[in-house]
Structure 1
Amino acid sequence: MVDIVYLRMKKNVETTDLQAVHLKDIAYLSTSSEHKTEMEETVLYRITKKDRNIVVIDSFLIIDHLRNKYPNLEFQLLGPNQTIIRIVKRKKAPNPLVVAFVWLLLFIGTAMTIMNFHYDVSMQEVQQRLHFLLTGEHNDYPLWIQIPYSIGLGLGMLLFFNHWFKKRFNEEPSPLEVEIFNYQQDLDQYVSYNENKLNDK
């Protein structure tokens, strides 16, 4: 009876070094064969400086390589057809001056955006009108409405983005994380598509 090897490719893998890529790094194996450990240690690719920051490894090339090496085994592919290896450069500690400058720039930009939005929708007039409807008195600065509103605006943004620095309020992804995930999916499809076009030529 021929042993079957089930192979499931990992969709994305990150590495920081120029190194040899083993089968266990980019795929999961399930088999009763005694060669399982040996197969997992099989070197499939060596990352060099020419690869820049992305390498796409196709499952059919892996199965071809494994069939040549283990002709008595049957290989069955499950899941994704390719693994995208991202070569991430080691990050240096950020410069405190740059961080402070970017934070200040974002803070000022956000403040200007919020103020211009409130000016466009005449928020102060709305709050003055609301104060008049509730109290029957005119007040140019109804602070009892404006202060809670300002605090609520900040708390609402925190809840919307589901983060307080590195702390999460719950397990649900924020809208920003969902958008980043969708962008990553589109990027992976683009990279895979172009890799296939290059292989077909």
Structure 2
Amino acid sequence: MTFTVYIRMRQRVETKQGGKITLSQAAQIIAADEVFAVLKDIEVYQLNQSDNNLAVLDVMSVIKKIYEYFPESDIQTIGPNQTIIEMIKEKKSRYPLFIAVWLLLFIGAGLAILNFHEEVSMQAVHQRLYWMITGIHNKKPLLLQIPYSFGIGLGMVLFFNHIFKKRFNEEPSPLEIEMFNYQQDLDRYVAINENKESVRHLNGD
């Protein structure tokens, strides 16, 4: 009896423990109930020490596994052709490193802003604006400088759409977009270089 099985490989699977990866963990499955009950527990990959923390599961090896159980099935694949399996190791507390990096970035960003303001003569601009508005010469126009300083911080918060863990709306920030693009490039690199079936070296005689 021929039946259809639809498989959609997951983009990435994260696991904290080694061992076997089942088909339901690595892919989404649509099939008849009695078939699905068997398919979901099929072991499609066995993690080992040689994998380090990344491994690639190719859809062809998944199809081969399914045919071992259901040789007359019609398998339809949708979406990605590989699943990246990442071994997540327990991380130790890194608060001292976090604080050191935060201080480094904070001081560096502050110096960058100060140098920019000095280069464009921002103080002279504020002094002239204050004179144009009030008609009074003031070497320290705090009435403009203080709101301007708060405005820089508020503008950065709105730009990145975050304040600590709170998000203002569902729109991703530019930083999140860049991180997403970086992760996509990294996944493509891993899918090609870690997949043993993607490259075949032939020795011609």
Q: TM-score scaled by structure 2?
A: 0.91
Q: Residue in 2 aligned with 1:111?
A: 110
In structure 2, stretches of 5+ residues that fail to align are none
Q: Residue in 1 aligned with 2:85?
A: 85
Q: What is the CA distance between 1:103 and its match in structure 2?
A: 2.5
* Matching of residue 169 in structure 1 with residue 168 in structure 2: yes
Is this contact kept in 2: 1:9–1:80, CA < 8 A? yes
- Number of aligned pairs? 200
* Map 1:25-174 → 2, pairs under 5 A: 25-32=25-32, 34-95=34-95, 97-174=96-173
Identity of matched residues, %: 47
Deviations 1:174-196 (A, max 9, x none): 10000000011111111222236
Task: Report SS of the residue matched to 2:34.
Answer: coil
C-alpha separation between the residues in 2 aligned to 1:86 and 1:100? Answer: 27
C-alpha separation between the residues in 2 aligned to 1:138 and 1:29? Answer: 74
Q: Relative to structure 1, is the Cα distance of residues 113 and 37 closer, same or farther in structure 2, using a 3 angstrom cutoff?
A: same
Residue identity in the other structure for 1:148: P
Q: Relative to structure 1, is the Cα distance of residues 198 and 5 closer, same or farther in structure 2, using a 3 angstrom cutoff?
A: closer
Of the structure 1 ranges 190-199 and 86-95, higher mean CA displacement relative to structure 2 is found in 190-199
C-alpha separation between the residues in 1 aligned to 2:65 and 2:99? Answer: 52
C-alpha separation between the residues in 1 aligned to 2:7 and 2:42? Answer: 14
Deviations 1:47-72 (A, max 9, x none): 12211111111101110221122112
Of the structure 1 ranges 173-182 and 49-58, higher mean CA displacement relative to structure 2 is found in 49-58
C-alpha separation between the residues in 1 aligned to 2:26 and 2:2? Answer: 25
C-alpha separation between the residues in 1 aligned to 2:71 and 2:48? Answer: 30
Q: What is the CA distance between 1:199 and its match in structure 2?
A: 3.9
Task: Report SS of the residue matched to 1:155.
Answer: helix
Is this contact kept in 2: 1:3–1:33, CA < 8 A? no
Q: What is the CA distance between 1:106 and its match in structure 2?
A: 2.1
C-alpha separation between the residues in 1 aligned to 2:120 and 2:51? Answer: 52
C-alpha separation between the residues in 2 aligned to 1:121 and 1:189? Answer: 43
Aligned CA-pair RMSD: 1.6
Is this contact kept in 2: 1:54–1:84, CA < 8 A? yes
In structure 1, stretches of 5+ residues that fail to align are none
Deviations 1:97-141 (A, max 9, x none): 433333222221121111111111111111111111112221111
Is this contact kept in 1: 2:44–2:61, CA < 8 A? no
Of the structure 1 ranges 191-200 and 74-83, higher mean CA displacement relative to structure 2 is found in 191-200
